[in-house]
Structure 1
Amino acid sequence: MIKRLRSLPLRSRLALLVAAAVAFAVAAVSVTCWFIVQGKLYDQLDADLRKATALTDPKQVGQIREALATCTQTPREGGFGTTYSQIVTADGTTCLFTNSYGEVKVTDADEEVMQQSSAGEGILRNGTAEDGKALRVLTVSLPLTDQRTQARADAVLIAAVPLDGTQSTLNDLALLLLLVSGVGVIGAGAAGLAVARAGLRPVDKLTEAVEHVARTEDLSVRIPVDDDSEDEIARLSHSFNSMTSSLANSRELQQQLIADAGHELRTPLTSLRTNIELLTRSEETGRPLPEADRKALLASVKAQMTELAALIGDLQELSRPDTGQHAGRTQIVAWQETVESALRRARLRGPELTITADVEPWYVRAEPAALERAVVNILDNAVKFSPEGGTIDVRLTAGTLTVRDHGPGISASELPHVFDRFWRSESARSLPGSGLGLSIVARTVQQAGGEVTLAPAPEGDGTVATIRLPGAPVPPPESSPDGDGGDGGQG
């Protein structure tokens, strides 16, 4: 049964749940109402019976005395305003009154009332007459108020009224409540189904959108959402729209990366192919190239292989996901040592330049190799764009690294694009490089929790690159004492 319910659509389960809840509530209210009405009707009957048997009329008292003295089963005149009334003595003799239509069956409870020494409230019960009719019966003991008679105290007065009218009313009420409950349950089920359909309509749209994306891989699908709505469905729709938008942007970036990588790889591969074909053709035709040309071709092939390897390395670096997976490789790094190592490499690449450095101790948490590569890329850019005999100023203080060159600088229109992948300024397209260096710098600095900026130099010539990383001028106690970010920096 539970498995069958789980196989139903969600709106059907909601409709059944609403119908079941309403059915339970209606049933509880109906049963309570029926018992309340039954109690009220019985209370009214009981009040009438007690009023009729109050024995406040002297005539009724006289009739009782006479009946106790000479009681037979012959109907007698008088009565107590009830359909059934009789007196039963201890020896089982029953005296019927003229307004009776039959004899009420005597039970053990009636006989217990005979043992009471004084008149009390008596007992109320449901009983039956000899003709089979259902009765509401009141049995009270009769006191002996006149010692001159032969009456005894062990006699009871039994008064009863038929329950036909009361039971008919209760049956009609039960039928009415049953009909109302049935209509209410059916209406509740229909209303629950309508509410479920209305409430799940956004879910249907979301399902259709997901199925459409799965079928067509079209990530441009968006679900219309009311901006003022803050319910769960609206939040789910907003999340879906954000997810598809992010996936679409990611796919676009991947496609752009592939296209740009293909474009960048085509140039060195074409040059390599041309040079290798020249060398091969000279060997096949038996016309060796002059030694100088051969050395130039081999040097070109070597340079192109180096450029190709660097480009592939940059692409591998950028292809790493922007997640916390790099956190396992981070450690406490002495940034000043990383900068000094990068400065040594930069001086080898620009021996004609003057590179000044003012480096203060600063310890950061980062991936050592990636951080050094980022600093090397910044210095390489400064070396590349500096004029011959120029000066590069490097300063590291309080966690801020600034690299200032005296090259042509960057225009204001180009600044927003300097960290884009494969982007190169007009002045840099004739120079070696792939346009990925600053992208790698931005990615590395972001993963280390810092920020990087490029801006024109204050004096108007050259560019200032600034990297800010959080850290401290001294290593934390758990790091290794040599300051190189050893195993202790993993804590």
Structure 2
Amino acid sequence: MGLPLYWKQCVASVTEWWKTVKQARSIWRLTFLYTGLLLAVVIVLLVVLFQLSIGQMSRQQHLQMDNIIQQQTQLAQQLNNDEFIAQFKLQAESSRQYLLTYQTQSKMIGRLNSIPSNLSQCSKLARFPIWLDKYEEIRLISGCSQSLPDGLLIIAIDDEYLYDLKGQFITASMIALCLALLMGLITGLIFSTRVLKRINSINKVALRVESGQLSARIAVSKHNDEYDHMALHINTMLNQLQHSFETIAGITDAIAHDLRTPLGHLRQQLESEIEANLKHNLPSEQLQSMLEKLDEILFTFSAMLELTRLQQQQEQKSQHFKTVNLQQIMVDAVDLIEPLTEEKQQIIKLKSDLEVSIKGDASLLFRAVYNLLENASKYAGDKATISLQLTKNGFIVSDNGPGICDSEKDKVFQRLYRIEKSRQIAGFGLGLTLVKAIIQLHNGSIKLLDNNPGLSVQVEFSQ
């Protein structure tokens, strides 16, 4: 028999709450620290208050009892038995706070009719019940016994009011601690939430900058506190970084843009010379090699300009995205890359059992998938195995080639950066940079992981 709907909802609510608690561990750590300090202060104050009030009264009672015991012991040593009994009767009858009793072998003098069996030696007190005519009820009193030369001295005190006062103090202390705990949790949670809210806002801006949104800035409040000062410094640093990146990108784009026209004219001239040589049966291998090198340069310039365009779209958040079937894009990319893998005797595996659709640009996503497959085929080596797997949030491209060391995994996303051992392989150092720009344009993330052996490229979309 399954759980009722009500209990299922309760279990779901508790589970969701626990997930939130685990994600907000810093908030709870600060809250518990603040609450612990508050409880420690309250406990210290309660202990000091107890010692200055009830503790002082209890110590005063013990001191007076010790004085009476010392006095009676000295009198018992100085006086004979009859003289001691005579003065003791006067002392026992005149004492209202303390119950004094003296027992000899033949009689008992004082206010107690019998000696309790659990009575302890002074100065350790034991509690025992007794009927008091004053209150006309049985009350618990505390007392002890002291051996004298000719008998046994019993001294007791009616301290039930002191025990009642201690109980009331303990009850009041527990209430105070509970209130302090509740107040500490509430105020600590509010304080921690406000503090960590500011920190989380900084983290969100850092993640946006990390994803390529260099225009992201931290909001500055009107409090002008330490967080606002830190936000101003970080914003200033981001302004300088953005200016530096824009300057570098502007220079490279300007160079690429300005050189495309003369290089295009040069390419036309080379094509004309090649055609002329072919008509006159003249050798044109050197001109053909020059044309191929020139095409590589033009392709690099075009890729740099396209990268800048993608990064600008990332800032503006393109609005022309449509629903795209990621599974179909992967199938098309594998179909296009298969001839290249067959030449290198490579095996390519496609795992696309899921149906995944995202908002995006189909041509750009296809280019990102194809570029990753092309990189895997290019650097994994002959007879390598390449795998393309569709996940519920994106896809994974992996191979069993030499891989990339950890120190190079972040650098390969930089413009024109190439690993030293791969420089003998044709390339421009812009492939992964373009892929990352495309993925970020679609609110995604890309990670390079070890495949042991080889490299695994993990792409996830947050939409």
Which interval holds the TM-score relative to the shorter structure? 0.3 to 0.5
Give the TM-score of the pair, scaled to structure 2: 0.45
Larger radius of gyration, structure 1 or 2?
1
* TM-score, L = length of structure 1: 0.43
